[in-house]
């Protein structure tokens, strides 16, 4: 008969401690996503209007962005994070409110950078409409 191994050796998962990081706020018209990373860019935690429990057009409101930022900040503080550099992308309604929520939740905001992508002449326009004669 084959013998059974009674205990498998597993390493205990250690919760990493991250004191500083970056907070990326992606604010679109439909939703606001807050991602908090360490200084190398590896995600520590994230949250959004949908994670909070909102559906549809309510995800794009400033209040949903505030709740998402506070939720992400609370999770990040569980990892020992105390200060962040904020990078904001997009033109949604939750831009300002998400930054204020990060500050109010106890994280020290060291810098704010607006990194909204802008087209440099954009896509090639479609061909002119030809009228049938």
- In this structure, is residue 132 part of a structural domain? no
pTM, rounded to two decimals: 0.81
Q: What is the CATH number of the domain that holds 37?
A: 3.30.420.80
Query: Chain centroid to CA 109: how far?
Result: 15
- Number of domains present in the structure of the chain: 1
Give the tens place of pLDDT for each residue, 81-107. Answer: 999 999 999 999 999 999 999 999 999
Rounded CA-CA distance 52/99 in Å is 17
Q: Residue 98 is part of which domain span? A: 27-114
pLDDT under 70 in the chain at which residues?
A: 1-7, 129-133
- In this structure, is residue 20 part of a structural domain? no
């Amino acid at each position: 008969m084959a013998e059974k191994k009674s205990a498998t050796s597993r390493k205990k998962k250690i919760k990493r401690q991250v004191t500083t990081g970056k907070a990326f706020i992606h604010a679109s018209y439909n939703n606001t996503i807050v991602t908090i990373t360490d200084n190398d860019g590896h995600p520590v935690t994230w949250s959004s209007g949908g994670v909070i429990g909102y559906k549809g057009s309510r995800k794009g409101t400033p209040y949903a962005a505030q709740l998402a930022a506070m939720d992400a900040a609370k999770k990040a503080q569980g990892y020992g994070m105390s200060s962040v550099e904020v990078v904001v992308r997009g033109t949604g309604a939750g831009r300002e409110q998400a930054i204020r929520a990060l500050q109010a939740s106890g994280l020290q905001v060291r810098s704010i950078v607006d990194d909204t992508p802008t087209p440099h002449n954009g896509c090639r326009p479609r061909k002119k409409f030809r009228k049938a004669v």
